[in-house]
Structure 1
Amino acid sequence: EQEVNENSLKRLNGYLENLQKPGFRSFKPTQLTFYVREREPSSSNLQESFSASGFRAVSFTLQTRDLLSTVLDILNSCSLSTEHIQSLNVNSQPNKEAKSTVDRPIKWDRTYYSFTGFKDPEEELEQAQRVETTLISWLDDNEASAVKKLKKSLPLRKELERLKIELSQQLQLSDIRWQRSWGIAHRCSQLHSLGRLVQQRPEVLKNVKGHTVIFTDRSGVSAAGHIMLGTMDVHHHWTKIFERLPNYYKLQKRLLLLEDRISQLLGGIEVIYMEELQPLLTLEEYYESLHSFYNRLRDSRLPFHPRSLRGLQMILESDRYAPSLHEFGHFTIPTVCDPATLQWFIFAKAQEARENLKRKEE
């Protein structure tokens, strides 16, 4: 009898919790059986049987869709008074004021949770509220520490700025940047390392004038023409990159020529490389993608009218499989895009692309 009551309580608890879930619509009729103390015989049509221990079994099926009706059905099924419930004039539908309360399961007596081993939702809620950290409280707690660290870092920040300006002027660089958010001390160390190379091998840096140096994960020249210095590489690797710069510049000219040929095949659409939107590629990687795309276009002989797409732009990406139109107005074209699909997409989206470009300029 005790086991039957415990199992029925668990199922009843689940039913009542579902009733209180916002938007819950799927209700499965739930049949429950409880053993209650024997009272006067009831004329109820419910199935009842009496045991030798003085308890009678009451079986009923829950299929109501609101809390009040469910509670009343349970009380009536067990032949218990419902006057105190009805006198409360409880509205089973949540009113406007109730919408602001925390949505949580029905509260049972703590002995129920101790007996069944279930977790008390109210106790969990109280614990969560005690440990809850808001952004404002976190900022308040860490304000003093942040100010202290900022003051401590100011000399290093000034040193970083000094080194950057000094090297930029000495090498006549356009800019010095970092691909990743390394710490200030790490950045200073990288600039010191470049400064030592300038002192030891000044002749290898004669070709960097007007260019941007980017400290990143690997050495080379980027698709945008920036000099990439791998932070894990030693001076020997950096030196080789600087010595090969004339060859990189020749490859860059060939790349520009290849972009122009692709543009001619696609009705004058401009092929561009956007650092902020595309992955960081080396010059060799980008040239290989362009060359593969160009061969595919040349063999397909797409019938684009010359200069019909002038004013439009496209970028080439190797990790996509379907063309798309960016909100800024440029086309994003996969390297492996089917030529026929490419032609249809550009024709279909050309006007929208012009409108997006116009909005961007405004």
Structure 2
Amino acid sequence: MINLHLRQARWRFVVLLKKAPILPDTVWLQVRGLSSAEVATALRPFYFLVHPDLFCQHPRAQHINDSSLKLLNNHLDLLIQDQKPSPVSLQFYVRNKNLEGNLHTVDLCLNKPSLRDTVHGILSVFHLPTKYVDSLPEQSRKPDRKIKWSRSFYDATGVFNPEEEFSTARKKEDLYSWLIKNMGEAEKRLAVSEPIRQDIVNLQAGLIHELGLTKLTWQRGLGTTHLRGCLQGLRSLMMHHQEVKDILKGRAIHFGNETGVSFEGGVVLSTSEVRNQWLKLIVRLPEQDAVLQRIPGMQKAVSNALRDIKITHRKYQSYVLLENYIQHLRRLVTALGDYRGRDAFPKTWPESLSSLELVVESAAGPLMLSPTGQILAPSSCPPWLLVNFITENMEQAEKTINDYHSIRDQEKQLYEQCKKELGLEFLEKDDSVMPAMMIQCLERLLKDTYRLSPLLTGARLWVTHYYAVMLDGEVCIPWEWSYG
């Protein structure tokens, strides 16, 4: 009993720490050849270019940079531990110095055998000085000390403040005035990129037909030129390796940040990897099918352990890879089995929780109720804590789920009405814009149609959290835009 109380107290302490504003993705470095302090100093200019904190006004770029930095940190950590990580291709958004408010992508391939060469390569790809790395001694040495290295290097400088640097871009501007100033440039870029978009439509339709795919999709925010290159790469792969047709028939393909199989059975291809990496995955798909067949049973086991609660995935979330998801499910299933052997559910619980939705996530995820009413549970969450959380949030979760379905219907109706009355060619939103936000935005757009329709007719519009004209001519506006 004492041990149980100690475990509970320790977990509560961990939960409190998670709520504190700690820095993510912190790792302990032991460096041979380069000390951790030297690595931090060398890469500081790189982090000032790509750190997610610099892209708060560009959620899509912020998300991609955050994901890429996690993979980069893991790669560096393996090198530091004198291991040989597999080559990985990453993509980062950086600001365009010549066009204020615009971004472009830089591809980074990590395939060097040593830490020094990797750091040197990163700086070279981003056209940053390598003089500091070149000046460091070549000989190996034992780690001088363990240094906690976090992704945030701003604290070390004491002078760099991204909030101040980009404060002008974050000031609210009324929508009408902003459109007056920027729609001319948007139309020019849209006209230039029109042939590329048409190629994308043709390539998508052709690949779906020739490969017998159920669908072919891609992550939001992917530039048109880069997307066309991905589609052309897939077509070339098909032409040179005819065997992939039979393997891919009846499957769905999604271009994303990683290469793998989603837990729903979709094929995910990284937009920053070469075709050979895609081919390696595709030829192994029949093996993955056997693993995939275990998912329903494992989901059912979690559901049965929690009185038929519905096991699902996050709404508005990018694809979750199969191998990761199976590990999450297995961990929670084991913990729930041990719990049910010792404890009973609260008497206040109904006979069935089938009206609730549970999302099983990574061990480092939050235990929380999402805006759509889903219960988000990390696989490392102790069952007693999960049971308590469900008990305390059961009514609110069910109410939020019902409200969400009602709001979604309203959002769809307003979407069609707004697209028609404003004469938009395309209308979409970022995943971070919840239905309630989108409804508020669409209703306000419709109220101001008489002024806005002449400016937005034929436009490709994204509802986001910021103003921007993308390189392909698509226009981003904040969902909470202001009137003039």
TM range, smaller chain: 0.5 to 0.7
Question: 3-state SS of the aligned residue for 2:288?
Answer: helix
Name the amino acid aligned to 2:302: I
Question: 3-state SS of the aligned residue for 1:352?
Answer: helix
Instruction: Give the TM-score of the pair, scaled to structure 2.
Output: 0.44
Name the amino acid aligned to 1:291: R
Aligned partners of 1:156, 1:322: CA distance in 2, in Å?
40
The alpha carbon displacement at 1:254 in A equals 0.6
Name the amino acid aligned to 1:178: W
The alpha carbon displacement at 1:325 in A equals 2.4
Matched, 1:226 2:270: no
Cα gap change, 1:221/1:275 in structure 2, threshold over 3 Å: closer, same or farther? Answer: farther
Whether contact under 8 Å (2:363, 2:380) holds in the other structure is: no
Q: 1:203 aligns with which of 243, 260, 279?
A: 243
Q: 1:174 aligns with which of 177, 196, 214?
A: 214
Q: Deviations over 1:207-249 (max 9, x none)?
A: 3233221112321112332211122322222112111111222
Matched, 1:269 2:309: yes
Aligned partners of 2:235, 2:366: CA distance in 1, in Å?
45
- Unaligned 5+ segments in structure 1 are 1-127
Q: Deviations over 1:170-202 (max 9, x none)?
A: 112122222252221211111111111111112
Aligned partners of 2:306, 2:360: CA distance in 1, in Å?
13
Aligned partners of 1:354, 1:183: CA distance in 2, in Å?
38
Matched, 1:159 2:199: yes
Matched, 1:260 2:300: yes
Q: 1:356 aligns with which of 400, 425, 436?
A: 400
Map of 1:281 onto structure 2: 320
- Aligned residue pairs total 231
Q: 2:337 aligns with which of 298, 308, 331?
A: 298
Map of 1:88 onto structure 2: none
Matched, 1:310 2:354: yes
Q: Deviations over 1:47-105 (max 9, x none)?
A: xxxxxxxxxxxxxxxxxxxxxxxxxxxxxxxxxxxxxxxxxxxxxxxxxxxxxxxxxxx
Map of 1:76 onto structure 2: none
Name the amino acid aligned to 2:185: S
Whether contact under 8 Å (1:271, 1:315) holds in the other structure is: yes
Aligned partners of 2:334, 2:365: CA distance in 1, in Å?
17
- 1:176-195 equivalence runs, <5 A: 176-195=216-235
Aligned partners of 1:310, 1:303: CA distance in 2, in Å?
18
Name the amino acid aligned to 2:218: W
Question: 3-state SS of the aligned residue for 1:206?
Answer: helix
Name the amino acid aligned to 2:290: K
Aligned partners of 1:320, 1:236: CA distance in 2, in Å?
32
The alpha carbon displacement at 1:322 in A equals 5.5
The alpha carbon displacement at 1:269 in A equals 0.6
Question: 3-state SS of the aligned residue for 2:248?
Answer: coil
Matched, 1:329 2:369: no
Map of 1:345 onto structure 2: 389
Q: 2:257 aligns with which of 217, 224, 234?
A: 217
The alpha carbon displacement at 1:336 in A equals 1.5
Once the two structures are aligned, what percentage of the paired residues are identical?
A: 29
Map of 2:182 onto structure 1: 142
Whether contact under 8 Å (2:295, 2:326) holds in the other structure is: yes
Whether contact under 8 Å (1:321, 1:337) holds in the other structure is: no
Aligned partners of 1:248, 1:167: CA distance in 2, in Å?
22
Name the amino acid aligned to 1:299: D
Cα gap change, 1:136/1:254 in structure 2, threshold over 3 Å: closer, same or farther? Answer: same
Map of 1:64 onto structure 2: none
Whether contact under 8 Å (2:247, 2:282) holds in the other structure is: yes
Larger relative contact order, structure 1 or 2 (CA cutoff 8 Å, min sep 6): 2
Name the amino acid aligned to 1:173: L
Name the amino acid aligned to 1:247: E
**Which structure would you say has the larger Rg?**
1
Q: Deviations over 1:145-183 (max 9, x none)?
A: 222221222122111101111111111212222225222
Name the amino acid aligned to 2:344: P
Aligned partners of 1:322, 1:213: CA distance in 2, in Å?
29
Whether contact under 8 Å (1:205, 1:242) holds in the other structure is: no
Question: 3-state SS of the aligned residue for 1:162?
Answer: helix
Aligned partners of 2:173, 2:359: CA distance in 1, in Å?
44
Aligned partners of 2:208, 2:350: CA distance in 1, in Å?
43
Aligned partners of 1:140, 1:244: CA distance in 2, in Å?
53
Map of 2:282 onto structure 1: 242
Aligned partners of 1:133, 1:148: CA distance in 2, in Å?
22
